[in-house]
Amino acid sequence: MEFVSPEGLRLDGRRPTEMRQLRAEIGVVSKADGSAMFEMGNTKVIAAVYGPREVQNRGQQTNNDHALVRCEYSMANFSTGDRVRKPKGDRRSIEISLVIRQTMEACIMTHLMPRSQIDIFVQVLQADGGTRSACINAATLALSDAGIPMCDLVTSCSAGYLNSTPLLDLNYIEDSAGGADVTVGILPTLDKVTLLQMDAKLSTNIFEDVMQLATEGCKAIANYIREVNPFILIAVYIWPSLKTF
Amino acid sequence: MLKSNVFSKKTRNNKIKKEVREVYLRDDIWCGVSSCTTCDSPAASAAARLTASTILVVDTNVVLHQIDLLENPAIDDVVVLSVVLDEVKNKNLSVYNRIRALCSNSLRKFYVFANKFHKDTHVEKMEKESPNDLNDRAIRVATQWYQKHLGDATRVLLVTNDRENKRKATEEGIFAETIESYVKSLGQPDLLDLVVQPASVDVNMEDIEDSRPSKRKVIYEEHKPMSEITSGLRHGIYHQGKLRVNRYNPFEAYVGSESIGDEIIIYGRTNMNRAFDGDIVAVELLPQEQWHEEKSLSIADEEEEEEDVHLAPSSADDAPRSTTPVNAADQIPVPSRPSGRVVGIIKRNWHSYCGSLEPMPMPAGSGSIAYALFVSKDRRIPKIRIQTRQLGNLLNKRIVVTVDSWDRQSRYPFGHYVRVIGDIGDRDTESEMVLIENDIDARPFTAQVLACLPPLPWSVSSEDLANPIRLDLRQIRVFSVDPPGCKDIDDALHCTALPNGNYEVGVHIADVTNFVHPGSPLDDEASKRGTSVYLVERRIDMLPKPLTEDICSLRADVERLAFSVIWEMTPEAEIISTRFSKSVIKSCAALSYVEAQARMDDSRLMDPLTTDLRNMNSLAKVMRQRRIERGALTLASAEVKFQIDTETHDPLDIGMYQIREANQMIEEFMLAANVSVAAQILKIFPVCSLLRRHPSPTREMFEPLLLTAAAVGINLDVSSSKALADSLDCAVGDDPYFNKMIRILATRCMTQAVYFCSGDLSPPEFHHYGLAAPLYTHFTSPIRRYADVFVHRLLAASLGIFQLPTIFQDRPQLTSVADNLNYRHRNAQMAGRASVELHTLIYFRKRPTDTEARIVKIRSNGFIVFVPKFGIEGPVYLTSKGQKGGGEWYVDEQQQKIVKMDSSLSYSVLQTLRIHMEVVEPQPNRPKLQLTLI
Ligand SMILES: [Zn+2]
């Protein structure tokens, strides 16, 4: 199948290094401490953050010096074309919940909030490829909306490799083509990678190109997120010494 | 950084399954006209192609039907819209590839305009608008945009044969013309032959179709609509598969079906229902009581074809497959296979065919339109009716013709003339026919491919020698043995006696992958060609000449890079250890088989090289013996050798190729190297290795052999290759050639070995029947076979000295590589055979000959003979054509005999007789070889 025409256009009219249109809004769930809606093309995700608040189930607290971060990912039944009712807590949801939690934990300054708990709820409203990245971006925005101190933003973007071309931000059709799909999460200011997932094999030099492209996508998303919420509480500004680790 | 362009976004909802798709509309899609000042960007001027003052926009049907015309250089300055490309791609992939090739050809002026992503030419579906109407409207919108964009100085012309679309276009102020009127306006009458006439326009059908006064009668059943086919397939009423027409009997075809695990036979053109060889068809099984009606059907077919003299088949793939060659009325029907009829065609495999026009009288007026019947060289293809204005010009030419349509009322499909190859009978023309027919690319290598070659003169560099992965074997006495005059020397050997009484034996293969890098244009080209092709008078290389004959070729007295397999063997040829390594060698002698044989046979010679040869030969004999004990078959085929005049390229002499012990010795070590490599790569890469297997023939495939053998009182056991090998050894007749004859007949019952990807099959299926080997691959001829190049990469990767390219992780792509290699391999063989047939014909043109022949098959009106000396096979008629036995002769099926009614004379299978061979011309310019009884 031809995913990039010889004229260099993808099936939806984008060029290989172009991202889908981004849209975001904060404060969409009034009851939550922080919330955000994030759209990448037709992929639409909502995130709500509760906390920091008192730990509700002491048993879960493993480390008293740090805040407990919990994450629950779900997919609305109407989010994909075929409206099948998916059981909650299937393997994929559990895995994505874990990925989001670990990624967010890497940037939340959990040691500033001992004996407390932060809950992140992420729901996919519309799925059209790149849901993982959209969830992370929405969670970042929601956390910033809740005023939770973070050492940096986390932003995520995917890139793939089809028809011997690295492609940024795969949509559903491209994602289902069976090529490689690299999802990257970065801390843009610290210039660090916090998430890297790939579900196929690529040779190292091609992998580097694809990852480079995804990283550039992450940076572009970071710029966009800063536009949406200019008042992000970034801990590095408070404790500049952290920058040196 | 990313979105430098302004986008507007639209979504479109698909009603059936709710699916939301985005379309990003852009303002950076350029018009492709070099004089355009509006499209102002370096990217735009780089892409610009179009220069003329008239620019054509073509619609989908023009591309689909008139691609031969578009390929003619007289047509240029064409805008191909993306909406048209998409539609063409859905309907016909081969036309799509051709129009794409035109668009990327820098010598042509074809420009792709991505109209659906341009902000001004994107159209949304309107309510109740059909997809066709939507596409037509999109084409008109784009045409109008071009006219507005370029202004009045340029005329933008919509070329469409759709009357409605043309009317609407004219209403909207667009210049629109049909393809005929546009071509007429160019004033080049020859071009008109290339224009495909819509079938429905043929008003004078009766005149040309048949002379019956009635209206055109319906000959074929209607094809079922696609929806019915799909549901029929789902319910198991229809069976889907690729139709393969019997090469030797075009009225018989097979459709492989997974659903019933057998192939369905289709008898006769009526049941084939307009399907071509290679079409994907839907088939319905006939009721069981109609399963043996092949004879009545093939006789009913009006154009009964007679058999030609042809090269003796060397495997079941070449041989006629009909199991019941006799038309005896009282014959007991053999247990028949399911037969069926085609109810629909899922995918057409139409392409261009080469052949010539059926001889016919010239029409009265010259230059007027004439209808002619085209006869393809490929007998599987039915005759094709074409329309031409240059009949006189084409009658004695070999031409290329394409099929356009085939409706229910016409016996033959309609097509159009594409180009002339040359005069019939001319050797160059006929050779080109062989190439076209077998889809062989004989064009010179492109500059891009040649750019991948190392600079010449090339020699082994100090870096190569210093490379730790390379063994320095220059001091070892390495030599090669090949056919005389061989320039592409793939393999060399050495055999050193070790102090412990064992031998170190090395097989050194040209290190082609050192020069052919994965993904390079050179690699792509080689993988497309798949194999070198050996014709009688020329060789079409897989790799450019400098590689084939010099840099890779393991010539004598020069240092060359190699990939070596080195064994330690006991004098009983037991392998004690196997090593693989890249190496540098320096061959000390490039011997021919004859030279090597002469050295071994000359007992006075005691030099080291001759001793090596003798040691190897004794090892090879042991290996061969062991292989035969395991059940390997000693197969036989009639290999023919020509002596060619170097000036005229005409054959001077023709004879059987002699196999010597030296040949068998080399063959034995190549087999051993291939087996060792197969085991190594499969061990490291169990799912992505490229191997070669030879499927066990079914009992049914042996049926003709068993019938013949039984008739001469020989009992063959075909239960296993070992049993067959043993019973072949026992099949000895009165004369020495008898056993070889039986082996030749046995060989042609088997199909050929094929390449496959190890992940696609399970290990028991890896078996190589003919070699009685559980594993086999091709490693030893990388200069002339791409499979070996592939295997070299696998072997290098298995040793950790090379990184496997990404293609090895892509199973479907590996499978398609294997399929392509099989296709190319097969075509190369067919081309080789066709070339031998052609030269046989040229040879006998001036030399009528009497020779000895053997009957191999009994027919109702004669028999088929095999001529061992020339490796050909053909019919000898006892009664004149058309008489069908004429009551004068009858066939004894049991005894495989044809007996004269008064019992005065009889001929039985495998009988030896003398025949006369002569080239006759039953029709002008249609020479053929005729065999008659003396
Ligand atoms: Zn322009």
**Chain B contact set for A13 (CB, 8 A):** 23-26, 114, 116-117
Q: Torsion angle of alpha carbons B309, B312, B317, B322, nearest 10°?
A: 60
**Chain A contact set for B89 (CB, 8 A):** 2
**Chain B contact set for A21 (CB, 8 A):** 3, 7, 9, 22, 24
Beta bridge partners of residue B58, listed in sequence order? B159
Phi, psi of B618 (to 5 degrees): -70, -35
B121-124, long-range: CB < 8 A, 24+ apart: B121/B145, B122/B10, B122/B23, B122/B25, B124/B10, B124/B12
The 10 Å CB-count burial string (b at 16+, else e) for B659-688 is eeebbebbebbbbbbbbbbbebbbeebeeb
- Single out the residue of A184, A189, A187, A191 nearest to residue A215, CA to CA: A184
**Chain B contact set for A2 (CB, 8 A):** 89
- Whether residue B511 has pLDDT greater than 90: yes
pLDDT of residue A237: 41
When pLDDT is averaged across residues B646-669 and rounded to a whole number, the result is: 72
Residue of B nearest to A178 (CA): B810
CA distances in angstroms from A130 to A49, A64, A160, B251, listed in the order given: 21, 35, 11, 55
Interface test with B, best of A3, A14, A203 (most B CBs within 10 A): A14
CA distances in angstroms from B662 to B593, B595, B668, B737, listed in the order given: 6, 9, 10, 22
Beta bridge partners of residue B340, listed in sequence order? B285
When pLDDT is averaged across residues B93-118 and rounded to a whole number, the result is: 88
pLDDT of residue A88: 64
Distance CA B681, CA B758 (A): 10
Share of chain B above pLDDT 90, in %: 24
- Over B867-879, what HEC string results? ECCCCEEEEEECC
Distance CA A60, CA A48 (A): 21
pLDDT of residue B213: 41
Q: For tokens 């952290």, what's the residue? A: A242
Closest Cα in chain A, distance from residue B22 (Å) = 6
A15 alpha carbon to ligand 1 midpoint, in Å? 20
Closest Cα in chain A, distance from residue B809 (Å) = 7
CA distances in angstroms from B287 to B234, B284, B290, listed in the order given: 20, 9, 6
- Single out the residue of B170, B340, B165 nearest to residue B264, CA to CA: B340
- Single out the residue of B459, B480, B609, B458 nearest to residue B555, CA to CA: B480
When pLDDT is averaged across residues B466-491 and rounded to a whole number, the result is: 89
The residue segments making up the domain with residue A33 are 22-243
- Whether residue B650 has pLDDT greater than 70: no
- Whether residue B883 has pLDDT greater than 70: no
Asked, for residue A72, whether it belongs to a domain, the answer is yes
Query: Hey, which of A119-123, B254-258, B821-825 has the most confident mean pLDDT?
Result: A119-123
Distance CA B659, CA B594 (A): 10
Distance CA A168, CA A185 (A): 14
How many A-B residue pairs are in contact by the CB < 8 A criterion?
69
Share of chain B above pLDDT 70, in %: 85
Identify the residue with better confidence: A226 or B637: A226
Asked, for residue A10, whether it belongs to a domain, the answer is no
When pLDDT is averaged across residues B793-797 and rounded to a whole number, the result is: 93
Q: Please report, for chain A, how many H helices and E strands are present, in that order.
A: 5, 9
The 10 Å CB-count burial string (b at 16+, else e) for B541-556 is bbbbbbbbbbbbbbbb
Closest Cα in chain A, distance from residue B114 (Å) = 8
Pairing of strands A68-75, A116-126: parallel
Residue of B nearest to A219 (CA): B1
Closest Cα in chain B, distance from residue A130 (Å) = 14
ipTM reported for the complex, 2 dp? 0.86
- Rounded to two decimals, the pTM is 0.65
Identify the residue with better confidence: B644 or B574: B574
- Single out the residue of A162, A201, A196 nearest to residue A182, CA to CA: A196
Outline where DSSP puts E strands in B541-679. 559-569, 575-592, 640-644, 651-656
Non-local (6+) Cβ contacts of B700 within 8 A are: B323
Identify the residue with better confidence: B338 or B621: B621
pLDDT of residue B306: 54
- Measured between CB atoms, which of B7, B18, B806 is closest to A21? B7
Provide the pLDDT confidence category of residue B297 given band limits of 50, 70 and 90: very low
Residues in chain A: 245
Query: Do the Cβ atoms of A81 and B19 come within 8 Å?
Result: yes
Query: Do the Cβ atoms of A17 and B2 come within 8 Å?
Result: yes
Q: Is B814 on the interface with A (CB under 8 A)?
A: no
Q: How far is residue B310 CA from its own chain's centroid?
A: 18
Cα angle value B734/B740/B746 (rounded, 5°): 120
- Whether residue B174 has pLDDT greater than 70: yes
Query: Do the Cβ atoms of A6 and B104 come within 8 Å?
Result: yes
**Chain A contact set for B3 (CB, 8 A):** 18-19, 21
- Measured between CB atoms, which of B18, B25, B809 is closest to A13? B25
CA distances in angstroms from B732 to A83, A155, B6, B632, B837, listed in the order given: 74, 82, 85, 19, 30
Non-local (6+) Cβ contacts of A75 within 8 A are: A86, A93, A123, A124, A127, A131
Helices (H), B686-810: 699-711, 721-730, 737-747, 786-798
Mean pLDDT of chain B: 81
Distance CA B761, CA B372 (A): 49
Asked, for residue A237, whether it belongs to a domain, the answer is yes
Token readout for B888 is: 């004068």
Query: Hey, which of B133-142, B400-409, B732-741 has the most confident mean pLDDT?
Result: B133-142
- Number of structural domains in chain A: 1
pLDDT of residue B396: 83
Element at B267 (helix H, strand E): strand B262-267
**Chain A contact set for B518 (CB, 8 A):** none
Contact between B409 and B217 under an 8 Å Cβ cutoff? The reply is yes
Closest Cα in chain B, distance from residue A70 (Å) = 32
Asked, for residue A6, whether it belongs to a domain, the answer is no
Query: Do the Cβ atoms of A13 and B9 come within 8 Å?
Result: no
Cα angle value A34/A36/A42 (rounded, 5°): 165
Distance CA B355, CA B370 (A): 18
Listing DSSP states for B782-835 in one string gives: TTTBHHHHHHHHHHHHHTTSSPPPGGGG-HHHHHHHHHHHHHHHHHHHHHHHHH
A49 dihedral zone (left: phi>0; alpha: psi -120 to 50; beta): beta
Q: Is B114 on the interface with A (CB under 8 A)?
A: yes
pLDDT of residue B904: 78
- Whether residue B282 has pLDDT greater than 70: yes
Pairing of strands B54-58, B78-81: parallel
* Domains, chain B, ordered by start: 26-185 (3.40.50.1010), 199-207+351-437 (2.40.50.700), 226-347 (2.40.50.690), 447-607+634-693+758-833 (no CATH), 699-750 (no CATH), 848-933 (2.40.50.140)
Identify the residue with better confidence: A61 or B8: A61
Distance CA B402, CA B407 (A): 16
Handedness of CA A237, A242, A243, B1 (dihedral sign): negative
**Chain A contact set for B26 (CB, 8 A):** 13
Asked, for residue A112, whether it belongs to a domain, the answer is yes
A69: helix, strand or coil: strand
Positions of chain A with pLDDT under 50: 235-245
pLDDT of residue B207: 42
Residues B386-406: pLDDT tens digits? 888 788 788 888 898 988 888
- Whether residue B632 has pLDDT greater than 90: no
Task: Return the CATH number at A100.
Answer: 3.30.230.70
Asked, for residue A185, whether it belongs to a domain, the answer is yes
- Whether residue B427 has pLDDT greater than 90: no
- Whether residue B896 has pLDDT greater than 90: no
- Whether residue B366 has pLDDT greater than 70: no
- Measured between CB atoms, which of A7, A19, A171 is closest to B3? A19
Query: Do the Cβ atoms of B20 and A128 come within 8 Å?
Result: yes
DSSP code for A40: E
Contact between B302 and B233 under an 8 Å Cβ cutoff? The reply is no
Contact between B572 and B566 under an 8 Å Cβ cutoff? The reply is no
pLDDT of residue A137: 95
- Whether residue B197 has pLDDT greater than 80: no
- Whether residue B148 has pLDDT greater than 50: yes
Identify the residue with better confidence: B325 or A189: A189
Asked, for residue A95, whether it belongs to a domain, the answer is yes
DSSP code for B5: S
Asked, for residue A106, whether it belongs to a domain, the answer is yes
Q: Is B112 on the interface with A (CB under 8 A)?
A: yes
Token readout for A96 is: 């994505």
Contact between B587 and B491 under an 8 Å Cβ cutoff? The reply is no
Q: Look at B213-217, B567-571, B866-870 and tell me which has the smallest mean pLDDT.
A: B213-217
Element at A25 (helix H, strand E): strand A22-26
Query: Do the Cβ atoms of B114 and A9 come within 8 Å?
Result: yes
Contact between A160 and A180 under an 8 Å Cβ cutoff? The reply is yes
Provide the pLDDT confidence category of residue B681 given band limits of 50, 70 and 90: very high
HSE (side-chain half, CA atoms, 13 Å) at B773 = 24
